[in-house]
Amino acid sequence: MRQTPILLATNNPDKQLALRQLVEGLPLAPVTPDQIGLEINPGEDGETHLEVARDKAIQWSQASSTLAIASDGGLVLPILGGRWESLYTHRFAGAPADGQARIGRLLELMRPYQGADRQASWVEALAIAHKGRLLVSWELGGATGVIAREAPELPPDDSGFWVFSVWEFPQFGKRYNQLSTAELESLDDHWINLRGLVRRYLHNHFVTTSA
């Protein structure tokens, strides 16, 4: 039986890996834009993460004429109020900034705050579209930790996941990118919960019914 292709709708290799893990084990055929010769760069003009994720999924699925899965997320920092917008997590330090520069700027912003005032959480939206038509979308919050006081020992990558190296969970003595699957599950992690939603939807609508 021919497997239904599903586009991992991003040009970011780290995000492609994260999206691939959501559909891993299903009888679908994940492909990247490079693998099918697709070169587009959808804008991020929505007013919410959900709008951005939906727009990405629709544009990618229309360009590829196939099923596409896309996401958009950001860091939530209540103490900063209007000085912080989760939508701009990747761009808040300016377009030329790399992961290390973003971390430096974030730690500078959080320097005046102590204890619970350093609380941080994450919001992630995810959407699936097919040939330009939105099929389903979700937006979930996840675990709550704190922003570490110091930068990681190793330089972070320049992907959207640079935040995870300074998002700390004192109960485990670890930062987000060091947590085990069991620890993530105990924190009601957004990505693990999204994986369950994605797999149930795709199984019901594209695995058992597609030829």
The set of catalytic residues is: 72
* 6, 35 contact by CB (below 8 A): no
**Which of 37, 16, 35, 7 shows the shortest CA–CA distance to 129?**
7
Angstrom distances, CA of residue 134 to CA of 58, 130, 155, 194? 6, 6, 38, 17
Q: What's the first-to-final CA gap in the chain, in angstroms?
A: 7
Which residues lie across from 119 on neighbouring strands?
A: 146
* 126, 198 contact by CB (below 8 A): yes
